[in-house]
Amino acid sequence: MNLTELKAIQLAELFSALSDASRIRIISLLIEGEMSVSALAEGLKMSESAVSHQLRGLRQMRLVRARKNGRQVFYSLDDDHVAKLYSMGLDHVEHG
């Protein structure tokens, strides 16, 4: 194998995106479908600012996608890899 340093960093960045409970909960909501920032904030009992900051990180990693409609912004998962990693992790936590 012999992983390059670059790929190690990229992999670490990918998993970093999933390494915080707030982001995990954001993703768990987005798995069910797209949601606005305020709906996420309400569902998570976090401030809209905090949610927006986290979404920015997820957006930069291309894990979520934003769709603007009027003054709302709807976020959804950009890619099913994320959902797969999520469910595989959940599996590990629940059983095994």
The residue ranges that bind a copy of itself (CB under 8 A) are 1-3, 5, 7-12, 14-16, 18-21, 23-25, 28, 31-32, 79, 81, 84-86, 88-94, 96
What does the DSSP assignment read for 20-77?
SHHHHHHHHHHTT--EEHHHHHHHHT--HHHHHHHHHHHHHTTSEEEEEETTEEEEEE
User: Is 43 an interacting residue with respect to DNA (CB under 7 A)?
Assistant: no
Q: Nearest distance from residue 10's CB to DNA, in Å? A: 13
Identify whether the C-beta of residue 18 lies closer than 8 Å to the C-beta of residue 31: no
**Residues making up the chain, counted from first to last:** 96
Among 3-11, 69-77, 83-91, the segment contacting DNA (CB under 7 A): 69-77
| Residue 70 makes contact with DNA by CB under 7 A | yes
* Choice between 70 and 96, CB closer to a copy of itself: 96
**Nearer Cβ to DNA (38/87):** 38
| One-letter amino acid of 78 | D
